[in-house]
């Protein structure tokens, strides 16, 4: 097939660039890094349980009564699964109003997770337990007991099965100590389930149905009956589901995709200028436009091919480990717009590779380009927005500022395919329509392609 004169040399150059880059050491390194981040990250987020939403610690509050009549605040601190936590700092305070409180004492949990504080005749105290940067709060009220024991409860979805059906109970005697003989018994819907452990803790799995169950705590002939609803967790399928994982992976791609494109493209022209092979190439019956088009197609293909394979592998891992696939339109948008992202950065780097006189300068240009569009651009647009005095104009500037960065356009386009929960919960997305973003992407592509052609024609033979 005879190509138009301006395309002479494009197929040959494209093939050489594609094969040369696929076999390069840098390609192997970048594919390994990409696989680690995208595929490894996908596996870690899904097989590792995703986002269960469980707290780091649970504080179980109990009112206790000393023999002299003094009130004693007792707190047992554990993991969500009932493992006692030693050395946890617990702060006790007395409420002084709707928004203020006076600290009355601090202490750390002992080896079995307990902490006690005599609070005198106070009728209520607030409790705050801190572990590193994680903190949980509760309160203790002192009222005349109706039984010979006190209890605290916590219901959640500990096993990530989508049901709020895991009931944790903690039972102490009225002096604030675990009951050893006989130990408290747990009875579910009239059927004995288990005894509490030595620390007074017991975990009960409630039936998986939407309704109410009866849980009885039985201690030395006295009983406390709890009527508890069993509900399906409305957020479990989302927070542990494939759409959220793909949302996070698409966010990673906004950063690592450009790096992949820049690393493979940075010396596509500059290296040949330094080695003198570009002059030899241009002395043959080829056109400069054909050479540039060939380089773009070859480099883009060399990046797009492994990138797509890695992304497909991530989707496969996501489906295999979570047991379900992400929303089809969301997955397709991720795959397609990832290719658009790397195409734009390949063109950007071809411009700078043509301008650079050495490969070192080309690398520097690549680093600056990545920093500009992935970090500095957000800072600059934020500062410009703050400098606009009119609120309406500032709002409009914020809406359209995403059009000035390839990475921001990618993120905005992917957000159009977000399932409804993503935008509602994370507040992400864009107020721009697909027509505006699509037109911006086309303008960027055509503009960068024209600029790459111009710089190659002007600077390639220098």
Q: What is the CATH number of the domain that holds 117?
A: 2.60.40.10
Contact in structure between 31 and 135 (CB atoms under 8 Å): no
User: In this predicted structure, which of 126-130, 158-162, 223-227 has the lowest mean pLDDT?
Assistant: 158-162
pLDDT for res 460 = 60
| Co-location of 109 and 226 in the same domain | no
| Co-location of 419 and 330 in the same domain | yes
User: pLDDT-derived band of residue 367, with 50, 70 and 90 as boundaries?
Assistant: confident
User: pLDDT-derived band of residue 291, with 50, 70 and 90 as boundaries?
Assistant: confident
pLDDT for res 2 = 66
| Co-location of 300 and 419 in the same domain | yes
Number of domains, the chain: 3
User: pLDDT-derived band of residue 236, with 50, 70 and 90 as boundaries?
Assistant: very low
Contact in structure between 357 and 270 (CB atoms under 8 Å): yes
Range of the domain at 159: 147-233
User: In this predicted structure, which of 90-99, 117-126, 242-251, 275-284 has the lowest mean pLDDT?
Assistant: 275-284
User: pLDDT-derived band of residue 1, with 50, 70 and 90 as boundaries?
Assistant: low
| Co-location of 197 and 283 in the same domain | no
| Co-location of 309 and 352 in the same domain | yes
pLDDT(233) > 70: no
Region 209-228 average pLDDT: 86
Region 387-411 average pLDDT: 87
Please tell me which of 76-80, 165-169, 287-291, 412-416 the model is most confident about, judged by mean pLDDT: 76-80
Look at 251 and 231; give whichever has higher pLDDT.
Answer: 251
Region 61-87 average pLDDT: 93
Average pLDDT, the chain: 85
Of 144, 163, 189, the residue at which a domain comes to its end is 144
Q: What share of the chain has pLDDT > 70, as a percent? A: 87
Q: What share of the chain has pLDDT > 90, as a percent? A: 44
pLDDT for res 388 = 87
Do β-strands 201-205 and 166-173 pair in parallel, antiparallel, or remain unpaired? antiparallel
Region 72-98 average pLDDT: 91
| Co-location of 42 and 66 in the same domain | no
| Co-location of 293 and 390 in the same domain | yes
Q: What is the CATH number of the domain that holds 219?
A: 2.60.40
User: pLDDT-derived band of residue 420, with 50, 70 and 90 as boundaries?
Assistant: low
pLDDT for res 6 = 64
| Co-location of 172 and 271 in the same domain | no
pLDDT for res 51 = 47
| Co-location of 263 and 409 in the same domain | yes
pTM of the entire predicted model: 0.66
pLDDT for res 237 = 46
| Co-location of 122 and 246 in the same domain | no
Of 215, 233, 251, the residue at which a domain comes to its end is 233
**pLDDT tens for residues 113-124?**
999 999 999 999
Of 188, 204, 233, the residue at which a domain comes to its end is 233
| Co-location of 358 and 455 in the same domain | yes
| Co-location of 130 and 249 in the same domain | no
Look at 324 and 350; give whichever has higher pLDDT.
Answer: 350
């Amino acid at each position: 097939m005879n190509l138009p004169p301006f395309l002479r040399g494009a197929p040959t150059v494209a093939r050489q660039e594609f094969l040369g880059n696929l076999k390069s050491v840098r390609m192997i390194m970048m594919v390994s890094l990409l696989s680690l981040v995208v595929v490894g990250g996908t596996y870690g987020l899904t097989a590792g349980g995703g986002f269960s939403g469980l707290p780091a610690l649970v504080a179980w509050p109990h009112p206790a009564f000393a023999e002299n009549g003094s009130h004693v605040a007792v707190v047992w601190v554990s993991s969500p699964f009932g493992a006692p936590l030693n050395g946890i700092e617990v702060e006790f305070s007395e409420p002084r109003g709707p928004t203020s409180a006076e600290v009355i004492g601090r202490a750390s949990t002992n080896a079995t997770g307990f902490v006690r504080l005599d609070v005198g005749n106070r009728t209520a105290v607030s409790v705050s337990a801190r572990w590193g940067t994680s903190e949980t709060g509760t309160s203790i009220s002192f009222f005349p007991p109706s039984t010979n024991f006190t209890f605290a409860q916590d219901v959640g979805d500990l096993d990530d099965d989508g049901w709020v059906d895991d009931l944790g109970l903690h039972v102490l005697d009225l002096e604030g100590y675990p009951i050893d003989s006989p130990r408290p018994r747990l009875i579910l819907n009239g059927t004995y389930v288990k005894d509490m452990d030595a620390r007074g803790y017991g975990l009960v799995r409630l039936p998986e149905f939407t309704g109410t169950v009866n849980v009885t705590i039985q201690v030395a002939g006295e009983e406390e009956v709890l009527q508890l609803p069993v509900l399906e967790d409305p957020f479990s399928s989302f927070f542990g589901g494939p759409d959220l994982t793909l949302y996070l992976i698409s966010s990673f791609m906004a950063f690592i995709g450009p790096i992949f494109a820049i690393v493979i493209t940075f010396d596509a022209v500059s290296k040949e200028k330094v080695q003198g092979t570009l002059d030899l190439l241009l002395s043959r019956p080829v056109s400069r436009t054909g050479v540039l088009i060939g380089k773009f197609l070859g480099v883009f293909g060399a990046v797009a091919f492994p990138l797509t394979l890695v992304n497909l592998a991530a989707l496969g891992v996501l489906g295999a480990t979570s047991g379900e696939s992400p929303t089809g339109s969301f997955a397709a948008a991720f795959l397609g717009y990832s290719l658009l992202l790397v195409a734009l950065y390949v063109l950007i780097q071809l411009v700078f590779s043509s301008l650079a006189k050495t490969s070192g300068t080309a690398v520097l240009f690549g680093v600056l380009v990545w920093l500009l569009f992935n970090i500095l651009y957000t800072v600059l647009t934020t500062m410009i927005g703050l400098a606009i005095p009119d609120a309406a104009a500032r709002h409009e500037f914020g809406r359209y500022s995403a059009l000035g960065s390839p990475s921001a356009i990618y993120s905005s386009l992917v957000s159009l395919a977000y399932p409804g929960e993503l935008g509602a919960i994370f507040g992400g997305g864009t107020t721009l329509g697909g027509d505006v973003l699509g037109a911006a992407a086309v303008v960027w592509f055509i503009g960068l392609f024209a600029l790459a052609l111009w710089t190659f024609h002007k600077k390639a033979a220098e």
